[in-house]
Chains A and B, each alone.
Chain A
């Protein structure tokens, strides 16, 4: 009896000791992988590159802080709607500090997330056999790394063209695996210092120029291409004041400018006409709950018939800006719609309302369109004194946006009463103003205005009109941001200052 009991107990003890020790060693993660080991073969590399795009899409499309929208809120294009949730009011009033939530932290962290992935891809690229596929992946990774650093540099640092000493001021850290800034063989925490703006832009150009020789002419929707790389170069050269390079780069972009017919379809994602760089979202499928960028401007509701019944606008089109656009300009109706929140009527922002029949704000991000590339070229030509070429280019875009015989009131077969496009004839200051106005209208609410004013070293001067459709209501609390104000550079997020003692805060914060 005693023996049986002892045997049972001993067997129990022994079997537990051995089998359990084994179990401890046989456990692996379930839904995650080692990022370096995962990279085997072209498909996995493209998956990593898409991870990089995912992160860039993240900060361009965040419904609270989209880089597609914040620069307009920071500028004179938008007016805060007092019946909204007052989202981003701190930004609108230029009252942000290093501890302010939203855009300040988001851009910094997600741009570097994208950079990290591009560095992982670049560090492992030799695992792929030489050839077009490898070149295209490396080209995308280099171009993505440049784009993310460019966004960081222009948000947190001055833009080279904005002042004489900008290039020697503090930029961001350009994290480049080739330079040993980060090591994926023995991953360890890094605590880099800030580099100069001049050095940042040098490295941005270096990456983009390398990418331009590697990347494919076309890639599937949402991915960077050769056109995209040269489009970016045209903008960056403009930011650097290297006007001939800007012209040369824009001439490399073959994308045709969206026609008048296509233009409104772009903002319901019915066409990609005229788009040079896009970050896409697949609203039909698994990404139906991804970021809805339009929420940064408004949230609407529809009745059963699909009509917009009520719109909680966060921001509306500035009254003065809206009325400065001629009625014959097709863009007037693309920028604005008559919105109302209860009794309060506003000039609602139409771009980014949603796909056809939707008001959910879920749309592809338009990082760069061919019209901008043209405007980059025109501005560069003007700066170099080629006013004739600049005016020709400007008129080319104006004509495309001119709303002629289709005006509702004379939409008949009688061509004699059509308004005819008359090309502009401006020169000098008037031409420069016209170029900037065209740029403001064409690119309105797509995340450009703040950077355009900033890079040109101008002040932000808001109108004194209120938020309501008729110009009454509450005007902006802060009407002017003087040229050279430190608020043109975002503060470095407090999280970075706290985690990385090597990182210096911007002046004024």
Chain B
């Protein structure tokens, strides 16, 4: 108490002094670092909000300064300097590079200096991702940025979240996505696309047991902690960023037939006697008719797709003083996507983060974010309702609009052009307009927290967080539209279904901490955690039919309400944990943790899981013998061992369940799930050994980590015999163990760092040393379509019939049967495990180059992977003999014609055996992709001063502008086709095949960033 009084009196004194010396002056100066001026350094009058930043030449001017003031000069990565003003009017200061070990890492339930962390943590800052198109979901931005973090763009759909896997596949169950935590609030991975990337201060990716064990049952797939920006003391900083651009489909590395070419292959097929080709125009048309058809040559990509339009605007205002700080942001982004005739994806978001030091011992924090996105993008399916399939399928001699006998475009009674149903019978261009689907998500993420300082040694942090996502979907089939003709009811024209759901998740987290130092060298910290998490999901839907007008999308006006429903789901988790850290003089650090989770996902006998970890680090560079070493600026070793769990399975899998349908209007009981009362927590044990080093004042630094992860008691929906009669045909079971070993290396090198030129390069690479199935229940294989889990083999190894080329004598496709004998038969039973070929890459990573000179800068970001295989279904469709009624790839013409032909496709006469799925369509998925290339120019302060702004940056970014790959298609494959195999569905394997999902896009954006 006495101390407080003293402080208070000093404060009063300072105030009085300030008042009495209210003689203000303007200070100017220059800030340097060791090799030149330091732009962007923060200059602040201590204890006030009066501050500025140095310009490009390291210069600043700050008005309203008193001689009693203290100027605080700070910059990330440098030691903060405090200079009493006194009589000076110009200040020249040089900041010393800070030992980067003081870098703060966010490690979950608190932060730690990197020096005292025992964990493998990758940090990606907001700055690292600022150049990416903001409508890209946040997680996509992490691609290639951090070692061991595998990010695959799921597809190119605007707003689509990515597949993020940390250290490969550590679970067989549906979920291998990491846990996302935004400012202490866990959020659903699907909601990541509703976060404004401009709000991100940094990502902290927790990879090893030392930190993920703290998250217990939810940490098994790793944890991505997202920290949003906070206001910094000083005058309000206003930043405005606006960009526009366009996107387009990445061109295919192959050609489709044009009208003439397609007609010719039809003719050739028909001539050979292929039945399916006999009635096609290429076979039946007269030369005049052929000429007419060729004249109609249509590029369906042109007709169905367009250049997408991208627009982003964001504004942020931040600032604060020594008690209160705030960060306010507002952003809008739009990406129409490349499908013509629809609006695409839009997002508006708002955020306010504040923190207030209410009392000396009490700090209250509030973060709130509201965001809404809308999308009318079509669902991802593999049928005639998919424009990305249509552009490959539609024959080039079939034009967008129907032609009458005279070759003129047909018009309907309203004078509108009549869309051509094409040979597929489904005019997708029209269907996009008559079958609109509109999705809206409104996401609120909020947290309220209080930090209570009980004494010098004890403190308590209390946090309540909640996320609520309201989802609405309006799915309409307009009267007179494409689908109504087929499935509608003539007496009730038009149907509409509205879905609504609210996904509310909240957590109450309390951390009670003790911290003390003994004898000046023994430092101890202990945290006791209590956490309660609940998810409440409610949903409703209703369908009506009979709409008086297609312009009123509300069921109130419908003549008949048809069906409706509502549902609810909940699950809960209660946890207690104790975390300890001890260090001796910042040289030796040891940590330990234990956590108990109780989950409603398991039967009462198995619902408790215990997770522990132990870890240690040795800061060798803090030892006396390295203290004066000028080469080695940082060297540390660390190791950790611990467990985490996974409970990413459905609710109530331990119970036998039945639901309800109807039969002739009466309720009908449908048993759908055989329960397994014995299921228990999936358990993972991870060993991590790492070394971190920095040379030459950390200009060259790197991290190498080796890990081995054993995931045991893996939860998997195990296929049941169909004779069981279980609707789900599966039972959730702890089926076995997998092992995962990897090596991760990351490197950064500031090659040139002087006042004029800065050039740095860096990157990371992860090697998958081993990812194999160690054991399975009863040793039985688990076959999952075209991939297999088998003891001793790599996870999800492809399991396909082996193609053995074309018989040069007769053009028949050949296969290897079960006994490795060549045969011209085909059987699904020829499926064979293909050693070492799986959808998982052996090597992956990313690298960057960053060059700047004066105000100019060029940055490139690359991502690569190698060693994975993809089943190229799109190519199979593009050369299938049975698809002769659809357009094909020009490659299809290269078929066997005469004895002796080699390197050809099978003769079209062998459709039955040739069109089968086999290794013929299994291709290497290696690629190197220039993820982004950014050119930027920051105007010198001499200009900006005249414009009354503090900074101005203009930039242009190209995304996905270069790809190097041998794959016959786009090699970046995540979702094959969501409605064929959806992420999260049983048996889904990311990247296993492509099947006309939304393609990756290339985009160019141009923007301007202004600071006030």
B454 x A2 contact (CB < 8 A): yes
User: A75-93: which residues lie under 8 A (CB-CB) from chain B?
Assistant: 82-86, 89, 93
B721 x A503 contact (CB < 8 A): yes
Q: List 20 A-B contacts (CB under 8 A).
A: A5-B454, A32-B652, A33-B657, A38-B669, A47-B660, A47-B669, A50-B669, A51-B661, A54-B670, A98-B829, A189-B721, A191-B721, A222-B664, A285-B665, A299-B486, A302-B485, A358-B489, A474-B276, A494-B828, A496-B723
Binary interface profile of B, 479-501, with partner A (CB < 8 Å = 1, else 0)? Answer: 00000111111110000000000
A494 to B490, CA, bound (A): 41
A50 to chain B, nearest CB (A): 4
B454 x A6 contact (CB < 8 A): yes
| Chain B residue nearest in CB terms to A474 | B279
Q: Within 8 Å CB of B662, what residues of A? A: 50, 54, 282, 286-287
A301 x B485 contact (CB < 8 A): yes
Q: Is A422 close to B, CB under 8 A? A: no
| Chain A residue nearest in CB terms to B455 | A2
Q: Within 8 Å CB of B720, what residues of A? A: 189, 499
A493 with B724: in contact, given A23-B534, A35-B671 (CB under 8 Å)?
no
**Which of A13-21, A328-336, A392-400 is found at the contact surface with chain B?**
A13-21
Q: Within 8 Å CB of B485, what residues of A? A: 300-302, 309-310
B407 to chain A, nearest CB (A): 16
B412 to chain A, nearest CB (A): 12
A54 x B668 contact (CB < 8 A): yes
A153 to B655, CA, bound (A): 32
A117 x B725 contact (CB < 8 A): yes
Q: Is B599 close to A, CB under 8 A? A: yes
**Which of B25-33, B199-207, B312-320, B563-571 is found at the contact surface with chain A?**
B563-571
A331 to chain B, nearest CB (A): 26
Q: Is B364 close to A, CB under 8 A? A: no
Binary interface profile of B, 875-886, with partner A (CB < 8 Å = 1, else 0)? Answer: 000000010010
A444 to chain B, nearest CB (A): 24
A36 to B455, CA, bound (A): 59
Q: A281-B664, A474-B279 are in contact. List 19 more A-B contacts (CB 8 A).
A: A12-B462, A31-B568, A34-B655, A48-B668, A50-B668, A51-B663, A54-B663, A117-B671, A175-B725, A220-B664, A282-B662, A282-B664, A287-B664, A301-B484, A312-B425, A342-B421, A474-B275, A495-B719, A505-B829
Partner of B663, one of A53, A115, A191: A53
Q: Within 8 Å CB of B279, what residues of A? A: 82, 466, 473-474
Q: Is A509 close to B, CB under 8 A? A: yes
A44 to chain B, nearest CB (A): 8
B671 x A20 contact (CB < 8 A): no
| Chain B residue nearest in CB terms to A472 | B279
Please list the residues of chain A having a beta carbon within 8 angstroms of any beta carbon in chain B: 2, 5-6, 8-9, 12-13, 16-17, 20-21, 23-25, 27, 29-36, 38, 44, 46-48, 50-51, 53-55, 57, 82-86, 89, 93, 95, 97-99, 108-109, 112-117, 119-120, 172-173, 175, 182, 187, 189-192, 220-222, 280-282, 285-289, 292, 299-302, 306, 309-310, 312, 341-342, 357-360, 466, 473-475, 477, 493-496, 498-501, 503, 505, 509
A306 to B486, CA, bound (A): 13
A281 to chain B, nearest CB (A): 7
Q: Within 8 Å CB of A475, what residues of B? A: 275
A82 x B276 contact (CB < 8 A): yes
A470 to B187, CA, bound (A): 64
A190 x B567 contact (CB < 8 A): no
Binary interface profile of B, 641-674, with partner A (CB < 8 Å = 1, else 0)? Answer: 0000000000110011111111111111111111
A9 x B658 contact (CB < 8 A): no
B541 to chain A, nearest CB (A): 12
A190 with B658: in contact, given A85-B424, A360-B488 (CB under 8 Å)?
no
A85 x B489 contact (CB < 8 A): no
A473 to B275, CA, bound (A): 10
| Chain B residue nearest in CB terms to A116 | B725
B647 to chain A, nearest CB (A): 13
Q: Is B93 close to A, CB under 8 A? A: no
Residue among A29, A191, A496, A505 facing the most chain B CB atoms (10 A cut-off): A29
A86 to B880, CA, bound (A): 14
A24 to B603, CA, bound (A): 11
A282 to B724, CA, bound (A): 29
User: B789-816: which residues lie under 8 A (CB-CB) from chain A?
Assistant: none
Q: Within 8 Å CB of B528, what residues of A? A: 13
A114 to B668, CA, bound (A): 11
Q: Within 8 Å CB of B563, what residues of A? A: 286, 288-289
B576 x A17 contact (CB < 8 A): yes
A21 with B574: in contact, given A95-B912, A474-B275 (CB under 8 Å)?
yes
A82 to B562, CA, bound (A): 35
Shortest 9 CB-CB contacts between residues of A and residues of B: A116-B725, A301-B485, A282-B665, A35-B658, A500-B721, A99-B828, A499-B719, A51-B669, A50-B663
Q: Is B783 close to A, CB under 8 A? A: yes
A358 to chain B, nearest CB (A): 6
| Chain A residue nearest in CB terms to B486 | A299
Q: Is B211 close to A, CB under 8 A? A: no
Partner of A187, one of B455, B491, B604, B674: B674
A498 to B987, CA, bound (A): 14
A32 x B659 contact (CB < 8 A): yes
B1005 to chain A, nearest CB (A): 41
A286 with B278: in contact, given A50-B663, A57-B663, A299-B486 (CB under 8 Å)?
no
Q: Is B600 close to A, CB under 8 A? A: yes
A23 with B670: in contact, given A5-B454, A16-B508, A302-B490 (CB under 8 Å)?
no
A222 to B666, CA, bound (A): 11
A360 x B530 contact (CB < 8 A): no
Partner of B668, one of A51, A97, A108, A341: A51
Q: Is B572 close to A, CB under 8 A? A: yes
| Chain B residue nearest in CB terms to A306 | B490
Binary interface profile of B, 958-983, with partner A (CB < 8 Å = 1, else 0)? Answer: 00000000000000000000000000
A503 to B722, CA, bound (A): 11
User: B578-632: which residues lie under 8 A (CB-CB) from chain A?
Assistant: 598-600, 604, 607
| Chain A residue nearest in CB terms to B537 | A30
B645 to chain A, nearest CB (A): 16
B661 x A54 contact (CB < 8 A): yes
B490 x A359 contact (CB < 8 A): yes
B669 x A289 contact (CB < 8 A): no
| Chain B residue nearest in CB terms to A288 | B562
Q: Within 8 Å CB of B826, what residues of A? A: 97
A359 to chain B, nearest CB (A): 7
B574 x A501 contact (CB < 8 A): no
A267 to chain B, nearest CB (A): 17
Q: Within 8 Å CB of B567, what residues of A? A: 30-31
Q: Is B731 close to A, CB under 8 A? A: yes
Partner of A117, one of B659, B660, B666, B669: B669
A27 with B572: in contact, given A9-B454, A189-B721, A473-B279 (CB under 8 Å)?
yes
Q: Within 8 Å CB of B425, what residues of A? A: 83-85, 312, 341
Q: Is B384 close to A, CB under 8 A? A: yes
A82 x B721 contact (CB < 8 A): no
A25 x B604 contact (CB < 8 A): yes
Q: Within 8 Å CB of B657, what residues of A? A: 29, 32-35
Q: Is B109 close to A, CB under 8 A? A: no
A475 to B724, CA, bound (A): 41
Partner of B510, one of A16, A31, A280, A360: A16
| Chain A residue nearest in CB terms to B673 | A32
A123 to chain B, nearest CB (A): 12
A346 to chain B, nearest CB (A): 12
A447 to B572, CA, bound (A): 50
Partner of A29, one of B460, B651, B885: B651
Binary interface profile of B, 540-574, with partner A (CB < 8 Å = 1, else 0)? Answer: 00010100000000000000001100011111111
Q: Within 8 Å CB of B545, what residues of A? A: 288
A478 to chain B, nearest CB (A): 9
A222 x B724 contact (CB < 8 A): no
A85 to chain B, nearest CB (A): 6
